[in-house]
Every structure is written in C-alpha cells, then in structure tokens.
Amino acid sequence: MHQQEIEDVSRYYSRLKPFLSNESQGRAKTNNRDAQEEDASFERGAQIAAEGIAGQDVPACADCHPATRKPFKNAYPALMGQYQDYLELQIRLFQNRSRGGSQSANLMHAAVDGLKLDQIRDVSFYYSELPAR
C-alpha cells in the first residue's frame, strides 16, 4: 500500500463506532458465564491488574497499562475495552515468545510468564469490561 492509502484506511477505521458500545455491553452475561462468576472474575482480574501476583513474579499490569484515560507511555498500548479473546491471545503469544511488537515487547515476556490460564482469563476479562478510552 502507498502511504496515502494507509492513511485513508486508518482514518476510515478510526471513525467507525464500536460494534457494541461499553454501555450496551454492561456487565451482561458473556462466554456462557453467570453474573456471579463474572463478578468474581472481574474482581480477581482487577486485583491482578492493580497488584500483580507476588508469589508468581507477575507485576501489576496497571504499572504500564493503567485503567485511566491517560496512557502511561505511548509505547504501551491501552488495554481498556479491548476484546477479552484478543487480550487472552496476546498474553499467550507473549508467553510462547510468538509475539513481537515494539522494542518494549520483550518486557511482556517476563511480565506474563507466571500467569496461569485462569488468571489470564480474569485479567483479560477485567480490561475488556472497562470503557475504552
């Protein structure tokens, strides 16, 4: 693609409205889980994001990916409002050393290596439920 085509496509996609707004998603039942299970998953994910898991050498996600509208650094992507499945996949790709990115991407390897599958689901669910910025 030529530079102008890239800019045109980027502009087009940046103007699209989300398929489901955060308001319509709410805390509705997703992935065949009931509301109590989702609430518990959200809380566990929030704790991992805010505090990490010391016994597993997992740092707090929010140190680099805060749950605020103001990014920590432009090199660190905002996770708020991303699809849960997408976030889970990215974490697993980092764990498998199959995911690249910016020069900062290697920081993610050590950050996610200690996460177990259920913890990946919880923290991904937490960020997916936050309003996109």
Instruction: Say which CATH number the domain at 97 has.
Output: 1.10.760.10
Average pLDDT (105-118) is 91
Q: Identify whether the C-beta of residue 60 lies closer than 8 Å to the C-beta of residue 50.
A: yes
Please tell me the pTM assigned to this model: 0.73
Euclidean distance between CA atoms 53 and 122, whole angstroms: 13
**Three-state SS at 58:** strand
Specify the pLDDT at position 16. Answer: 65
The distance of Cα 63 from the centroid of its chain, to the nearest Å, equals 13
Specify the pLDDT at position 7. Answer: 79
Specify the pLDDT at position 20. Answer: 53
Domain that holds residue 105: 3-129
Euclidean distance between CA atoms 69 and 118, whole angstroms: 27
Tokens 């749950």 belong to residue:
67
pLDDT digits (tens, 9 = 90+) for 62-108: 999 998 867 667 778 889 999 999 999 999 999 999 887 777 788 89
pLDDT of residue 38 exceeding 80: yes
The proportion of the chain whose per-residue pLDDT surpasses 70, expressed as a percent, equals: 81
Query: Residue 130 — very low, low, confident or very high, per pLDDT cuts 50/70/90?
Result: very high
Euclidean distance between CA atoms 117 and 125, whole angstroms: 12
Q: What is the DSSP string of 40-53?
A: HHHHHHHHHHHH-B
Domain count, the chain: 1
